Each structure stands twice: as structure tokens, then as C-alpha cells.
Amino acid sequence: EEKWWPYLMMLAASGSLGGLLVVSADAKTKEEGPTEKVSEKKKRLLILGTGWAGVSFLKDLDTSLYEVTIVSPRNYFVFTPLLPNVTSGTVEAHSITEPVRRIARNRKKSIKFYEAECLHIDAANKTASCRDMSDVHVKGKEDFTLEYDLLVIALGAQPNTFGIPGVKEHCHFLKEIEDAERIHQSVLDCFETANLPHLSDEEKRKLLSFVVIGGGPTGVEFAAELHDLIHEDLVKLYPGLEEKVKITVIQGADHILSMFDERISDFAEKKFQRQGVEIQTGCFVQAVTDNEVTVKNKSGQLYTMPYGMAVWSTGIGTRPVVSKFMEQIGQKSRRVLATDEWLRVKGCDNTFALGDCATIEQRKIMEDIDEILKLADVKNSGTLTVKQIKEALESIKERYPQLKAYLKANNKHDVMALLGKKVPDGKNVQSVEVSIEDLKKALGHVDSQLKLFPATAQVAAQQGEYLAKCFNTMDHTDAEKGPPRVRGSGRHRFKPFQYRHLGQFAPLGEEQAAAQLPGDRISIGRSTMWLWYSVYLSKQVSWRTRFLVAFDWSKRVIFGRDSNRM
Ligand code: FAD
């Protein structure tokens, strides 16, 4: 009998709503009462997205300083590096997801979370139009608008089909938790159907042909997981089907894992060869139908491959909401949002972007060349000695990652090598004079080696942590002022974002993994797999997921992988 009052409240609330619902991020509600006076002065901070970037920002943010609102169509965070584990039934979906509300609950001050999709950002009026996309919604009242003072865009990216016909309709993607669960079910479905008594051998072979398009880290890890699921578990449950199974990886580049050290891609290729996983390199998919993939090989020949299941894993593209926003702020020709090194979106005030949806346009040394020359104390003759250049480079190298990387890779501070010149006979290198033109040419060359940050969880998480630190002190500093000076703290109190590459893993199946570690060191084998287990366990966002993942891994060793077809 006590359950009647919530309905009464819903009835009263629904009566007061009409037309388009406009919710201000600092809208006053009765429950907030006493805190309102304080909150009026606070800036309204809107965060879009609850992935790696959004959640790491939220976790480190002092929420008592802002009126924080988060919008995302999923009310949980996904630990994406373990998605391939879900496809094989090694780890359960809920073990690698953490409710955003649980993360938000532990913050200093309560924040608002709305499960909705942002469809449009209006930079001029500082509003974000959102829509409730869930199955349960109030008809005609799906849309609402949020106002903000500060906006953090952490919308990630979506799979890129490159406009190839049939990919969207017939291939699986591996981006979201639902994708991973669907793939797992689809593999089991292929086995159940192939096991039916009335099918021919040819039909069974087609059903058990698994095609993975994309030989990058995700595609390779998935292929390895699939191999292990089939050969360690499913062959015992479906006797007689093993020899009909075929896994093929189609890769456009000449090697799989081409972004890794060649010793790693070589090891992975040989391992796949031994396991019977076919790798087709230099091949590009042209079209996909409901039962075959058309491929063009290196010599331009077209051929078709029948398949039971195809997984598309070839890279990422821009989300429509981000494309529309880029058009609005004059960044139309780009693939991702351009920010400065403080993660501020170029051409748009009070807006920050991080993670897969953004890229930092790093500062070029040549943009600051006059200040650098002043620092190096140019002689009247317009020349500099090697000693002066060395000192100047040393003092600015922290500011320009491209210079730091160059000096590290090229015999530290060999200025003559940087200039592409030899020391004249009998001269002390320190006193060799160098023309400014030669120095500018050399620094221009270093600038041309600027690398974009990779679209990884590692970058997104570090950017989130960095931005939270800036936000936690922003009100007390002059963070909004112009670009930094070359030396010292200058006009800017924050250091620009600097990415620390901690290494990258590539699990290869059968309890083996490869890792490319900082300093171009590599590690391959079983011990690397143990390192992978410990790193990913330690990186879990909560003790709950840490416990669940460890439990799932142990369960797999004792009972095998999940093979329930739901
Ligand atoms: P995401 O994590 O994708 O988050 C985007 C957020 O925006 C999501 O919450 C989404 O729901 C939300 N969103 C989307 N559209 C809207 C909208 N319209 N309105 C509001 N919210 C919206 N990286 C590594 O470093 N190591 C790895 O081992 C690794 N393995 C990976 C394995 C797989 C299978 C995949 C798919 C990726 C892997 N990555 C890995 C890459 C890593 O997951 C991404 O680089 C990272 O997720 C980027 O973080 P993000 O916050 O920018 O985007």
C-alpha cells in the first residue's frame, strides 16, 4: 500500500512540463535549496561523454568548484581494452563497466547526470541540445537543451567504414559493450548452426569462416581471442567441426601490427601462421554482402570470400555531432577537433576537447623563433656559436616535444648533426659560428617531425587528469590569457599538456603477449602476458570491477569460457 506516492509525484511533475524542455545546467530545484546561494556564483560545467577522457576528467575534478552536469547516452564507463575478452566469453560485460552514477557519488559535491545524446552544440549561445534516445521516453518530450559556461567535449569517435558498401549492414564492429556481446553470441550461433545435421560440408565451412578486417591491435587481439575460444573450448563442445574452422585477417598494410616494432609484428605473423590463422596483407575490402566479402589484392585482382561472421576493425571516424560543431567553428576540413596544448578548442571560447574526438595542434618552434633567437643572444653579425645554440636548445626543449624527441634520438645535443654540417678542420666545435638561416632551416625540419598523439585510452586518460588539474585551480589563475612565453612561467600558469607514453600491449593469444615499452624496448612471451594481466587489473576504475575481472579470469582457467547461446 505504500507504493502510491511516487505515481502521484510523477503525475504532478508531468503536468508542469510542456513543449521543449529547457534544463539549465544550474537550474534551481527545491532539493538544492540551501546550497543555491553559493552555487549561483559557480560556473556551469557541462561534460559530454563518459568514456576514458570524460571519466578520468571527472574522477580528478574538484566538483565543489563548479555546477557539473554530464550527458552521455550510456550511464556507465567501459574499460575498452578488455572488450576482446568479452567477445570470447572470458570476461563478462558487467565486469568491465562501472556506473557513472557510482563514480559521481564519490565526488565532493553532487553532480547531475543525464542519460541522453547530445545532438547539437551551439557555440555562440553556449547551449547543447540533447535527446533521450532510450526505449523508455515521454513521447514529444525527448528533446531538451542545457546551458553552460564551460564545455568539455569528450565524445570519442565512431567506427570508420570509409563508405565501403555493405560494411555497416553486415559487419560487426568492436567499439561498445553491446558489440562485444553480439560478437560472442554470433560466434556461438555460427557453431550451433554448423552443427545441424542436414547441412553440407561446404555450408558448414562457410558458417565457420571468420573474417577479421583490420590487422591493427584491436583486430589482432580479437583474432587471437577467437582462436583461443574456438580451439580451447568450442572444439570440445562441438566435436567434428574443428577442421572446418577458418580465421582470416585482412590487412591493408604490408604487415599486421604495423605501428609496433617490426620484431613484434614478425612474431605475431609467425605465431598466427603456426596456429593456422591466415593473414592477407596488402589487401583492401571493396564490398560486403550478407554472405561474402569482396577483396582487392596487391596486384589489383578481385576475389570473394564467403563468411559466417565478419568483424570490421579498421580505424575510427568523426561522430556527426562533432562534425557539425567543427563546421560551426571554422574547422570543417578537419577529421577531429583541433585544440591548443591546453586542450582549448581553437576558435571557440571556454570549450575544451580531449580524447579520440580531438587532437592537439602542437606549437611549432618556428612560431617562437624570434623569442628563441633573443634568448640565444645573437651577435651583431647575425650568427650564433654552437655553444649558444646548445644552451638555447637546452632551455626550450621541454616546451617543444618534437625537439626533445629529436635530440634524444639524434645523439643528444649534436648541433652540427642537427644542422647537417661537419665541424671545419682544426676548429673547436663549441666556437663554430652558424648562420641564423641555417638554424631556422634545421628547426623547421624538426618541426616537420611533429607527431600526432595516438587515439588511445592512455592519451584520453592522461588528458582527462591534466584538464581536471587545470580546472581545479583555474579560477585562481589567469589560465584564460594568451599563449605562453618560451621560458619560465610567463603569462601562463599551466604547463601545456605533455603525453607520457607508457608503452603499448598486443595480446596474441595462448597466454602470450607483446609489449612495446618506452625507449623502443620490446618484450614478448608469457611473462609479458602476466604483465598485461597486472597492468589492466591495476588500471580498473574501481575495486568492484577489479575483483570481477580477476574472478572472471580465474573462472576461465577452471571452467573454460562461457558458451551459453542466449
Ligand atoms: P570513448 O571512450 O569512446 O568515450 C566517448 C563517450 O562519449 C562515450 O561515453 C559515449 O557514450 C559518449 N557519446 C557518444 N556520442 C555522444 C553524444 N552524441 N552525446 C553525448 N555523449 C556521447 N586504448 C589503449 O590505450 N589501450 C588499449 O589496449 C586499447 N584497446 C582498445 C580495444 C578496443 C576494442 C577499442 C574499441 C579501443 C581500444 N583502445 C585502447 C582505444 C580506447 O578505447 C580509446 O582511445 C578511448 O576509448 C578514447 O576515449 P574517449 O573518452 O575519447 O572516447
- Complex ipTM value: 0.99
User: Which set of grid coordinates corresponds to residue 325?
Assistant: 560543431
Give the nearest ligand 1 atom to 536 CA: 28
Q: With beta carbons less than 8 A apart as the criterion, state whether 552 and 95 touch.
A: yes
516 CB within 6 A, ligand 1: no
Rounded CA separation 456/364 (Å): 23
- More confident site: 3 or 444: 444
> For residue 190, which of 112, 245, 114, 153 has the smallest C-alpha distance?
245
Mean of the pLDDT values across residues 135-146? 93
CA distances from 209 to 26, 138, 147, 295 (A): 54, 44, 51, 15
Which tens digit of pLDDT belongs to each residue from 76-116?
999 999 999 999 999 999 999 999 999 988 777 779 999 99
| The pLDDT value given to residue 428 | 82
pLDDT band at 150 (very low <50, low <70, confident <90, very high): very high
Q: Rounded to the nearest whole angstrom, what is the distance from the C-alpha of residue 414 to the centroid of ligand 1?
A: 41
Locate the ligand 1 atom nearest the alpha carbon of residue 81 and give its number.
30
Ligand 1 centroid to Cα of residue 455, in Å, is 9
Q: Is residue 9 domain-resident? A: no
- pLDDT at 400 exceeding the cut of 90: no
Is the domain of 69 the same as that of 148? yes
Tell me what pLDDT residue 205 has.
Answer: 97
Q: Which three cell numbers stand for residue 363?
A: 606549437
Contact 471, 61 (CB under 8 A): yes
For residue 373, the tally of other CB atoms under 10 A from its CB is 17
| Grid cell in block for residue 345 | 578548442
Amino acid identity at 215: G
Asked if residue 179 is part of any domain, the answer here is yes
> What is the model's pLDDT at position 501?
87
Residue 287 lies in a domain: yes
Task: Tell me the CA–centroid distance for residue 55 and ligand 1, in Å.
Answer: 11
Pick the range with the lowest mean pLDDT from 246-250, 286-290, 329-333, 408-412.
408-412
Residue 108's Cβ-count burial label (10 Å; 0-12, 13-18, 19+) is exposed
- Nearest CA owner, ligand 1 atom 45: 456
Query: What pLDDT is attached to residue 380?
Result: 67
Asked if the model's pLDDT at residue 35 lies above 80, the reply is no
Domain end marker among 447, 467, 485: 447
491 has pLDDT over 60: no
C-alpha–C-alpha distance, residues 472 and 61, integer Å = 6
Any ligand 1 atom below 6 A from CB of 457: yes
Q: Which atom of ligand 1 is nearest to the CA of 319?
A: 15
Q: For residue 52, how far is its CA from the centre of ligand 1 (angstroms)?
A: 6
Residue 458, ligand 1, Cβ within 6 A:
yes
Question: Residue 403 to residues 342, 430, 441: CA-CA distances in angstroms?
Answer: 19, 20, 14
Residue from 77, 155, 174, 501 whose mutation best tests the ligand 1 pocket (most atoms within 8 A of CB): 155
Q: Are residues 151 and 45 in the same domain?
A: yes
pLDDT greater than 60 at residue 28: no
pLDDT classification of 321: cutoffs 50, 70, 90:
very high
In this structure, what DSSP letter does residue 132 have? -
| C-alpha cell read off for 311 | 568483424
Q: What is the CATH number of the domain that holds 152?
A: 3.50.50.100
Whether residues 488 and 370 share a domain: the answer is no
Asked if residue 280 has its Cβ within 6 Å of ligand 1, the reply is no
Which set of grid coordinates corresponds to residue 124? Answer: 555562440
> Does ligand 1 come within 6 angstroms of the Cβ of 345?
no
| Beta pairing, strands 127-131 & 117-122 | antiparallel
323 shares its domain with 231: no
Backbone conformation region of residue 353, classed left if phi is above 0, alpha if psi is from -120 to 50, else beta = beta
32 pLDDT higher than 80: no
Whether 101 is in a domain gets the answer no
- The answer to whether residues 345 and 479 belong to one domain is yes
Higher pLDDT: 186 or 474? It is 186
pLDDT in tens, 264-283: 999 999 999 999 999 999 99
- Give the residue, 46 or 23, on which the prediction is more confident: 46
Question: Could you tell me if the CB of 496 is within 6 A of ligand 1?
Answer: no
The count of residues in the chain is 566
Burial annotation 532-542 (CB, 10 A radius, 16+ → b, else e): bbeebeeebbe
Does the beta carbon of 250 lie inside 6 Å of ligand 1? no
Q: Please check whether residue 337 lies inside any domain of the structure.
A: yes
Please tell me if the CB atom of residue 268 comes closer than 6 angstroms to any atom of ligand 1. Answer: no
Mutate to test the pocket of ligand 1, among 57, 69, 80 (most ligand atoms within 8 A of CB): 80
Quick one: which atom of ligand 1 is closest to the CA of 455? 45
Do 381 and 408 lie in one domain? The reply is yes
pLDDT (0 to 100) of residue 253: 94
Query: Of 58-67, 73-82, 477-486, where does mean pLDDT reach its minimum?
Result: 477-486
Main-chain dihedrals φ then ψ at residue 526, nearest 5 degrees: -70, -40
Point out which residues pair with 383 in neighbouring strands: 435
Ligand 1 neighbourhood includes 117 CB (under 6 angstroms): yes
Ligand 1: atom nearest CA of 84 is 34
For the cut 80, the answer to whether the pLDDT of residue 347 exceeds it is: yes
**Number of structural domains found in the chain:** 3
- With 50 as the cut, is the pLDDT of residue 488 above it? no
Set of cell numbers at residue 467: 584538464
With respect to residue 549, please indicate whether it lies within any of the assigned structural domains. yes
418: confidence class by pLDDT, cuts 50, 70, 90: confident
| 68: phi then psi, degrees, rounded to nearest 5 | -95, 130
CA–centroid distance, residue 156 to ligand 1 (Å)? 5
Instruction: Give me the residue label for grid cell 547526470.
Output: 113
Cα(188) to centroid(ligand 1), Å: 26
Gap between the Cα atoms of 563 and 288, Å rounded:
28
**Cα gap 413→407, rounded to integer Å:** 6
Please indicate whether residue 174, judged by its CB atom, sits closer than 6 Å to ligand 1: yes
Query: Which tens digit of pLDDT belongs to each residue from 200-221?
Result: 999 999 999 999 999 999 999 9
Same domain, 511 and 541: yes
- Residue 2 within a domain: no
Residues in contact with 342: Cβ distance below 8 Å, sequence separation at least 6, in sequence order: 470, 479, 492, 494, 496, 497
156 lines ligand 1 (CB under 6 A): yes
pLDDT of residue 406: 80
Q: Which domain holds residue 180?
A: 167-317+502-559
Q: How far from 220 is each of 254, 255, 346, 349, 421, CA to CA, in Å?
A: 14, 11, 36, 41, 44
Please indicate, yes or no, whether residues 301 and 239 belong to a single structural domain of this protein.
Answer: yes
Angle between helical axes of 217-228 and 262-275 (0-180°, round to 10):
30
Q: Which three cell numbers stand for residue 199?
A: 547441412
3-state SS track over 370-385 = HHHHHHHCCCCCCEEE
Nearest to 353 by CA among 129, 53, 83, 66: 53
Residue nearest to atom 41 of ligand 1 (CA): 456
Q: Kindly state whether residues 489 and 399 are assigned to the same domain.
A: no
Q: How far is the CA of 51 from the centre of ligand 1 (A)?
A: 5
CA of residue 396 to ligand 1 center, whole Å: 34
- What's the mean pLDDT in 493-518? 90
| Pick from 70-79, 86-95, 452-461: least confident | 452-461
Q: What is the DSSP string of 76-128?
A: EEE-GGGHHHHHTTSS-GGGGEEEHHHHHHTSSS--EEEE-EEEEEETTTTEE
Judge residue 3's burial from the number of C-beta atoms within 10 Å of its C-beta, 0-12 exposed, 13-18 middle, 19 or more buried: exposed
Residue of 467, 558, 563 lying closest to 150 (CA atoms) = 467
Q: Let me know whether 265 and 173 are in one domain.
A: yes
Q: How many other CB atoms sit within 10 Å of the CB of residue 245? A: 24
Q: Do residues 361 and 338 touch, judged by C-beta distance below 8 A?
A: yes
- pLDDT grade for 13, boundaries at 50, 70 and 90: very low
Answer yes or no: are the C-beta atoms of 317 and 125 closer than 8 Å: no
Radius of gyration of the chain (CA): 27
Ligand 1 atom closest to the CA of 320, numbered from 1: 18
Residue nearest to atom 46 of ligand 1 (CA): 457
Amino acid making up residue 136: V
Percent share of the chain, pLDDT over 90: 65
The helix (H) or strand (E) run that includes residue 555 is helix 543-559
Look at residue 434 in the predicted model and tell me its pLDDT: 85
257 and 228 belong to one structural domain: yes
Q: CA-to-CA distance for 59 and 54, rounded, in angstroms?
A: 9
Q: Is the domain of 270 the same as that of 174?
A: yes
Q: What is the mean pLDDT of residues 396-402?
A: 79
Average pLDDT in the 28-45 region? 54
List, in order, residues 6 or more apart from 145 with CB less than 8 Å away: 20, 21, 22, 23, 127, 128, 129, 130
- Give me the pLDDT at residue 40, please: 55
Selection from 15, 323, 50 nearest residue 176 by Cα: 50
Cβ of 460 below 6 Å from ligand 1: yes
Instruction: Give, for ligand 1, the residue of 312, 356, 540 to mutate: max count of ligand atoms closer than 8 Å to Cβ.
Output: 356
Indicate whether 552 belongs to any domain: yes
Among 308-312, 445-449, 476-480, name the one with the lowest average pLDDT. 476-480
For the chain, the first-to-last Cα distance in angstroms comes to 37
Does the C-beta of 403 come closer than 6 Å to ligand 1? no
Whether pLDDT at 38 is above 70 = no
Q: Determine the distance separating the centroid of ligand 1 and the alpha carbon of 287, expressed in angstroms.
A: 27
pLDDT, mean of residues 527-547: 95
Flag whether pLDDT at 133 surpasses 60.
yes
Q: Which atom of ligand 1 is nearest to the CA of 354?
A: 52
Q: What is the pLDDT of residues 42-65, one digit of tens each?
A: 899 999 999 999 999 999 999 999
Tell me, using a 6 A CB cutoff, whether residue 81 lines ligand 1.
yes
Phi first, then psi: give them for residue 431, nearest 5 degrees.
Answer: -95, 0
80 Cα: distance to centroid of ligand 1 (angstroms): 7
Work out the mean pLDDT of the chain and round it to a whole number. 87
Q: How confident is the model at residue 130 (pLDDT cuts 50, 70, 90)?
A: very high
- Give the C-alpha separation, 109 to 99, whole Å: 17
Nearest to 514 by CA among 305, 220, 289: 220
